[in-house]
A and B are shown apart, each in its own frame.
Chain A
Amino acid sequence: MSEDLARTATQRFVDIGRPQLAIRLVILLCPVVILLVTGIAGSVWAPVVLLIVPLAVGSAAMPDSHAGLLLLAVLLTQWGVAVDDPTTPWLLPVVLAAVVMHTAMAAATIVPPGSSWSAVTVRRWLRRTLVVLAVTLLTWFVAFGLAAIGPAGGVWLLVPALLLMVAAGAWIWTHSLGNLD
């Protein structure tokens, strides 16, 4: 019985196809990158790895689940706790890995197991990811510049940033998440 179950699980693993296996590997590697960079920029609290490993495996196995949300939340909380310098350049590989991980999980859900993405789809997703990463890089430069101004500059920017964030949240809510049922 257990042999049959193991064979079925192996077969399911093989059945998802090489492109899907590759993207699942990417999903699995991104938390490793974030953890490594966090360790270099600060330190990693060892017990958190015990939480991250099953979440990473769960995210790779079931990209259309909330395991990815939990995993990113744990990883970025660990970053916040471990890294004191908010303008460190190590932030860039972390944000890159986070974006790649989210995008890979989203892309893994749009094709059935065993099939692969068309060339048009791959080009479309790569183009959009590059645009998002470019905007992120720009944001990092702005944040780096504001941090150089000092705490006063930061306070003046806090209120409009908060208002902008509330407005953005309200807009997304009304346009999409309002009908989750």
Chain B
Amino acid sequence: MSAPSWRPTIAHVRATTLGLGLAAFGLLARRPDFVVLATPLLLIAAWAATCRPQRNPVVRQSVDQRSLREGEATTWRVHIDDAAGADDLGVVLDAPRYVAMDPVHGGVAGAVSDGRSELTVALRTTRWGRRAIGPATVVATSAWAGFRWQPVRGAATAINTLPLAGAFSASSTPASAAGLVGLDRSPRVGDGSEFAGIRPFQSGDRLRRVHWARSARSGVLHVTTTWSDHDRHIVVLVDASRDLGVSGGIDGAASSLDTTVRAAGAIAEHHLHRGDRVALQIIGARGVSSVPPATGVAHLRRILDRLSTIEPASSDRDEARRHLALPAGVLVVMLSPLISPLALERAVSAARRGIDVAVVDTLPSGLVDEPSDDPMRSIAWRIRLLERRREIRRVRELGIPLVVWRGPGSLDEVLREMHRRARAPRAVRR
């Protein structure tokens, strides 16, 4: 494939053809008015031919940030260099769905000065996910739009939009402690930093724990006790097998997968900021693996990155055979629209193994009674909703807490209930 070169435009052909034709006719037919009519067109054609650029410009395209949060904006830049003779530069950028552009149609134009120019298009991503943008179509033109140069389009640039974690907080105490590090106070007394009480000295107590004031007053050696610091291991289990509803992006209505992904990001962010270990497991998604448990801000980024790559799988067949690694003592927060029975089966199976499971319903409320134009489809949807209601009742009867996602405090009641139950004796099927 040969390199693109400067080619004459239709405007140049028009000026040359008409100019020469009118001049010839004017001279041969002895019509000076036609010579006058030909003069500007011939002048324009000669001017454009004289200013024809000799070299191909160098075009570079770049985007300021390749990783954004939903609703954030970045800038697409097109630089042209070494464009001596070029007068104008036009750029059109095609953006996929959920990427808003300014200008709206992605077209910008500017003058080339001293052989260089830079044009920008502002981009704003309105939904999480990975999208290919560009490359922009670039066209440079010479004087009088006489010659045009258009480079071969290159490869698209992938922009990763991380989900904007919805507002979330949980103030309740944890259900179980798996380790002795973390920010939360454990329900157990142990080696920590938060004061729990003062008690008489026992064999094995450390000397630095002796409370000398109380010991001197009572004449018996007393020590201070502390609550052990709590390290929670949270597994965020995302059911990505269905995306129900129409997503309007960050500014519009949320689909079930939007709510699921944003809620998962919010829960992970909340717990990671508190020093807990968070793992991510995704079921029903195409080619997305899990994220092992870890702590820290970098881990949050890892989780959000993985969430942004979710695409619903076309079939549940492989999913049914997949084993979920859920160690004992973890708190599993499952986020699902609960349309696929597979997700609830997972929750039931984990609960039967003695694992604390909380299920968060992410089905958009508007979908529950959504009428359909197709009566058969409407009946099928109503039947599925009735089945869903029965499955949810069954899950609740098994003692698995289930709440609808409502943002901050969604899990408080559930966690409190789990904490109460964790302290009570319980039967586990062996």
Which residues of B320-375 have CB atoms within 8 Å of chain A's CB atoms?
none
Report chain B residues within 8 Å CB of A165.
20, 23-24, 27
Interface string of A64-94 (1 = CB under 8 A from B): 1110110011001001100100111001001
Report chain A residues within 8 Å CB of B20.
165, 168-169, 172
A116–B46 alpha-carbon span in the complex (Å)? 27
Cβ-defined contact, A115 with B31, below 8 A: no
Q: Return the chain A residue nearest B14 by Cβ.
A: A69
Cβ-defined contact, B27 with A162, below 8 A: yes
Cβ-defined contact, B16 with A176, below 8 A: yes
Interface size on A, residues (CB 8 A): 64
Report chain A residues within 8 Å CB of B15.
102
- Stretch of B144-152, B248-256, B290-298 contacting A (4+ beta carbons < 8 Å): B144-152
Cβ-defined contact, B109 with A116, below 8 A: yes
Report chain B residues within 8 Å CB of A180.
7-8, 13
A76–B37 alpha-carbon span in the complex (Å)? 9
Cβ-defined contact, A128 with B143, below 8 A: yes
Interface string of A130-170 (1 = CB under 8 A from B): 00110110011001101100010010001001100100110
**From residue B194, how far is it (CB to closest CB) to chain A in Å?**
62
B247 within 8 A of A: no
Instruction: Report if A154-B50 is in contact (Cβ < 8 Å); known contacts: A132-B43, A133-B40, A135-B40.
Output: no
- A-B contact list, 26 entries, CB within 8 Å: A79-B33, A86-B31, A88-B33, A98-B41, A102-B18, A105-B14, A109-B9, A110-B141, A113-B105, A114-B103, A114-B105, A115-B90, A115-B105, A118-B109, A121-B88, A132-B40, A132-B47, A136-B39, A139-B35, A139-B36, A161-B35, A172-B20, A175-B49, A176-B16, A177-B12, A177-B16
User: Out of B25, B40, B107, which one reaches A114, CB within 8 Å?
Assistant: B107
Which residues of B33-82 have CB atoms within 8 Å of chain A's CB atoms?
33-37, 39-50, 52
Instruction: Report if A86-B32 is in contact (Cβ < 8 Å); known contacts: A76-B37, A115-B103, A175-B52.
Output: yes
Inter-chain pairs besides A86-B33, A179-B7, A180-B13, 7 sampled, C-beta below 8 Å? A73-B21, A76-B18, A107-B145, A111-B107, A136-B43, A154-B30, A165-B24
Report chain B residues within 8 Å CB of A95.
36-37, 39-40
User: Out of B25, B32, B106, B143, which one reaches A87, CB within 8 Å?
Assistant: B32
Which residues of B120-152 have CB atoms within 8 Å of chain A's CB atoms?
139, 141, 143-147
A21 within 8 A of B: no
A135–B91 alpha-carbon span in the complex (Å)? 34
Report chain A residues within 8 Å CB of B189.
none
Cβ-defined contact, A106 with B144, below 8 A: yes
Q: Return the chain A residue nearest B20 by Cβ.
A: A169
What band does the interface of chain B fall in when counting residues whose beta carbon is under 8 Å from A? 35 or more
Q: Return the chain B residue nearest A169 by Cβ.
A: B20
Report chain B residues within 8 Å CB of A162.
27
User: Out of A80, A102, A144, which one reaches B41, CB within 8 Å?
Assistant: A102
Cβ-defined contact, A115 with B108, below 8 A: yes
B427 within 8 A of A: no
A171 within 8 A of B: yes
Cβ-defined contact, A177 with B90, below 8 A: no
| Dominant SS among interface residues on chain B | helix
Interface centre among B11, B30, B111 (most CB of A within 10 A): B11
A181–B63 alpha-carbon span in the complex (Å)? 34
B215 within 8 A of A: no
**From residue B51, how far is it (CB to closest CB) to chain A in Å?**
10
Q: Return the chain A residue nearest B92 by Cβ.
A: A112
Report chain A residues within 8 Å CB of B31.
80, 86
Report chain B residues within 8 Å CB of A144.
32
Cβ-defined contact, A72 with B90, below 8 A: no
Q: Return the chain A residue nearest B108 by Cβ.
A: A115
Cβ-defined contact, A73 with B11, below 8 A: no
A50 within 8 A of B: no
Interface centre among B7, B36, B45 (most CB of A within 10 A): B36
Cβ-defined contact, A91 with B37, below 8 A: yes
Cβ-defined contact, A124 with B8, below 8 A: no
**From residue B57, how far is it (CB to closest CB) to chain A in Å?**
15
Report chain A residues within 8 Å CB of B7.
179-180
Report chain B residues within 8 Å CB of A107.
145
Among all A-B residue pairs, the 9 with the closest Cβ atoms: A112-B107, A114-B105, A143-B32, A106-B11, A120-B111, A111-B109, A106-B145, A86-B33, A175-B49
**From residue B333, how far is it (CB to closest CB) to chain A in Å?**
45
